[in-house]
Amino acid sequence: MNKTTTIAAVLLTLAAGASAQEQVLNLYSARHYSTDEALYANFTKATGIRINRVDADDAGILARLKAEGTASPADVILLVDAARLVKGEQDGLFKPVKSKVLDDAIPAQYRSKSTAEGTSWFGFSTRARVVVYDKQKVQSADVDTYEELADPKNKGKLCIRSGSHPYNLSLFGAVTEHLGEQKAEAWLKGLVANMARAPKGGDTDQIKAVGAGECQVAVSNSYYIARLLRSDKAEDKALMERVGIVFPNQSSWGTHVNIAGGAVAKNAKHEANAVKFLEYLASPEAQNYFANGNNEWPTAKGVKVNNAALQALSGGGDFKAETVPLAAVGANQVKVQQMLDRVGFK
């Protein structure tokens, strides 16, 4: 083999390596839903881009990105809470994206504020924070607003998970946006006064506590309820016969919704693949995976889904969702945590 042939062989090897490298996407995901496997497999089938995935919770992912710094292999970050997405943006962990596909598909209220550099994160699915109540002991009219959860008429009736959990922080951040800080803190104090027990467990535990008579009112993300509605287990069917569901504030600002969303990592090594993946998540096909796989509502404009549990949950039709920008909700996280500490909400 002469010198020219050797150089050519080396160049071909390097080119092949570069080509292979381009067909990879490193994903850090807080979405721990087995149904998402089909979502990722379909993307790889359509594009040839192989996904390497690391699973952790939202806080763990953000902490890992900080620790790894410029050495981080992450290309795409998927988180399941608006406040965490805002936190990642504030900490400079995301790379702004310029994509007409994403800007056209995702409404402004479900993404970060755009700048000259682009948009830092996008929401791809929503879940509503609804009220669950014991139909034998509570009238729906007494719990059809978030404000009423703090009313003395519901004293000793409320079950809820930790106030510091991201799902509650976002709800409380939204209420703060609507009511103002002073009234929101008074409302949180009322929630504490109305608790049937100290906060504990997850959302499903709150629903089951209502069914068991441990309390009479609870708050839950909608997809936990949809899972129970789709269950074939006798105990789940009996539970859902006993409890009622309310989408709060339909006569005022609308029910609070939170998002699962994604961003390109600041130090992404495969940026083009990362943008392609985010654009894929906004496609009708992927949006239907979110709806039918994990009972979430799609955010992309014009996407219609056929999920019987979601239809049953919302009374067979659409519900009024709040329109406050989720970026503003997430930005309230610190002040909300301070209020929780002051009113003794653990």
Question: Residue ranges for the binding site for Fe cation?
Answer: 32, 223-224
Q: Is 159 helix (H, G, I), strand (E, B) or coil?
A: strand
Q: Which two tokens stand for residue 174?
A: 């939204």
Q: Other C-beta atoms within 10 Å of 148: how many?
A: 19
> Which residues lie across from 261 on neighbouring strands?
79, 123
- CA 244, CA 134: separation in Å to the nearest integer? 6
Q: Which two tokens stand for residue 276?
A: 């392609």
Q: Is the dihedral of CA 283, 42, 313, 196 positive or negative?
A: negative
| CB environment 51-85: b (16+ within 10 A), e (fewer) | beeeeeebeebbebbeeeeeebebbbbbbbbbbbb
> Which residues fall within 8 angstroms of residue 330, CB to CB, at 6 or more apart?
81, 82, 83, 84, 85, 86, 87, 170, 173
Q: DSSP per residue over 247-280, as a string? A: -S-TTTT-B-EEEEEEEEETT-S-HHHHHHHHHH
Q: What angle do CA 64, 162, 253 make, to 5 degrees?
A: 100
β-pairing, 122-134 vs 243-246, is antiparallel
Identify which of 71, 112, 63, 48 has the alpha carbon closest to the alpha carbon of residue 277: 48
Question: Would you list which residues are annotated within the binding site?
Answer: 32, 223-224
Q: DSSP per residue over 73-93, as a string? A: ---EEEES-HHHHHHHHHTT-
Instruction: Determine the residue type at 200.
Output: K
Instruction: Determine the residue type at 82.
Output: A
Query: What is the enclosing helix (H) or strand (E) of 130?
Result: strand 122-134
